[in-house]
Structure 1
Amino acid sequence: MAEPATQEQTTTTNNTPVNVEVDNSYENDSSYGDELSSYTASLTSSVLEFRHENGRRYHGYRDGSYLLPNDESENDRLDILHELFLQLLDQKLYLAPIKNPQRVIDLATGTGIWAIDFADQHPQAEVIGCDLSPIQPSLVPPNLKFLVDDIESDWAYEKDPFDFIHARYLSLSIKNFGKLIKECYRSVKPGGWVEFQDWNSYPYSEDGSLKDTALERYFNEVYGAFEKEGYEVGPGPKLEQWFKEAGFVNIHVEKFVIPYGVWPKDKRLKKLGAWNQAQGEANGFESAALAVLTRYKQWTHDEVVVLASKARADSKRRDIHMLFNFYVVYGQRPKN
């Protein structure tokens, strides 16, 4: 792990290949399908008053503030994303140089899988996972507890601050990242660390193969709707500036490329692309589109299904070389 920069510096690591080479060999593709189909991780959901709409289930607490489902299908997809991020970071849960943390919080913990893994690895730490939905399992490490909380509301952790604050994949769910990161600054101990891991959610292709596809239309329609409602779609490249504005020092930025599909020739990128495609196949296209388009753009359920189906069909094409950028940014609150 690289040494942190001085307080006046920001360290940036760009792991994005200049060009992602396409693998034109098809003979080994089946192994990735077998690997994906073997990965399932279904966690038990609590039964509370949730919102049911268009055949999907959504959170009830602060109803409407988060526009993706919280049902079993979505939970499975989130757990697949957890495995994708572990593959991306060489099985590391975080990159910040934390040492012997005693009090830790995972923001918007989702299924709680990151918090569970962290609590297992750090039995000395008191770990909290907070989310709008109480969908996490009940059998968890003894040093972990889950809270129902809205992280976009004012916090009350300043009197009992954390050694480490972690947040991952908040794209499409937060309207004011600047305010949220300032809350993190106020709620982390002097010398403590905050780490955000997030997407620039709009995809791109290096060879123009995404242009004029159903995939391009899908992301323009869905992400355009999120942006119109005030949600941040591409927080990844903006995290560094928000960390600086909040007052963090020793800021470190790492940028990664994540393909969609098994088209890259590079074996590591091929594996990342396989996991990314697995989460898309787990109703990912419909999950992101249904609520925002039916509630705010007056689309019908059937129209969204058609849009998602066409995008999913395009996502399986070997001649479309879709890429996403993903960022890991961490910073330290000054010790004095």
Structure 2
Amino acid sequence: ERIIPMSYPPAQKLGDHLKLARTRNEIRVLDLAAGSGIWGIALAQKSPRVRVTAVDWAGMIPTTKRITRKFGVADRFQFIEGDLLEANFGIGYNIATLGHILHSEGEERSRQLIKKTFRAVKPGGTIAIAEWLVNDDRTEPTHSLMFAVQMLVNTERGDTFSFKEIKGWLEEARFKRVRKLEAPGPSPLILATKP
């Protein structure tokens, strides 16, 4: 829940950028490592046509459910418990969000997760990644470097990554149009489209 104030504004910006309020069709969102559910919640608030599948560990899902009820969008959420690489979350999503998860997964699992997400998103769909980005030389910004130290100490394989690294993983998975979207928070969002 502590991450809500950091994640809610960029998630709202994402919903505005994708013009969800104007949609006439159902929009299926895959919220990976949903945690509080705030990425899916912010997108669901933009349109009653948004339906969210939230994926996270079984121990986290009760918290996600509680917070979606608090925000009044629980009726548009479904929940899948399990490891991100093992859970079957299906296909046909318009949007997939990976909100501050790659840094705890490490490079190899992050690359696998992006490839799995590519299969889950329908053609024309968007993947949105929020991360603590570092520059290519790994010398700045300071807040992202300090976060990298936290990941080194507190996770088995966590780290922070550069836009160039994540862009390479997205392109390796066959996503196109990899770009940055300036948004509130520690770093811009990274967006890419499935052709």
Compare the two structures and name the one with the higher helix fraction.
2
1:153-302 superposed matches below 5 A: 153=86, 155-158=88-91, 161-175=92-106, 176-200=109-133, 204=140, 221-225=149-153, 229-234=156-161, 236-254=163-181
Percent identical among aligned pairs is 22
Structure 1 residues 255, 92: CA separation in 2 closer, same or farther (over 3 Å shift)?
Answer: closer
Structure 1 residues 254, 233: CA separation in 2 closer, same or farther (over 3 Å shift)?
Answer: same
Structure 1 residues 187, 172: CA separation in 2 closer, same or farther (over 3 Å shift)?
Answer: same
Structure 1 residue 244 displacement after superposition: 0.7
Structure 1 residue 171 displacement after superposition: 4.1
User: Which TM-score applies when normalising by structure 1?
Assistant: 0.45
CA contact (8 A) 1:127 1:145 kept: yes
Gaps of 5+ in 2: none
Structure 1 residues 179, 96: CA separation in 2 closer, same or farther (over 3 Å shift)?
Answer: farther
User: Which TM-score applies when normalising by structure 2?
Assistant: 0.73
What SS class does the counterpart of residue 131 from structure 2 fall into?
Answer: strand
1:95-119 superposed Cα distances (whole Å, 9 cap, x missing partner): 4567545311111111112222221
Greater RCO, CA 8 A, separation 6+:
1
Q: Which has the larger radius of gyration?
A: 1
Q: Which amino acid aligns with 1:329?
A: I
Structure 1 residue 253 displacement after superposition: 2.5
Give the aligned CA root-mean-square deviation in angstroms. 3.3
1:310-329 superposed Cα distances (whole Å, 9 cap, x missing partner): xxxxxxxxxxxxxx6x1322
Tell me whether 1:147 sits opposite 2:80 in the alignment. Answer: yes
Structure 1 residues 149, 226: CA separation in 2 closer, same or farther (over 3 Å shift)?
Answer: same
Q: Which residue of 2 aligns with 1:118?
A: 43
Structure 1 residues 96, 330: CA separation in 2 closer, same or farther (over 3 Å shift)?
Answer: farther
1:57-72 superposed matches below 5 A: none
Gaps of 5+ in 1: 1-74, 257-271, 277-323
Structure 1 residues 101, 331: CA separation in 2 closer, same or farther (over 3 Å shift)?
Answer: farther
Tell me whether 1:328 sits opposite 2:185 in the alignment. Answer: no
What SS class does the counterpart of residue 150 from structure 1 fall into?
Answer: coil
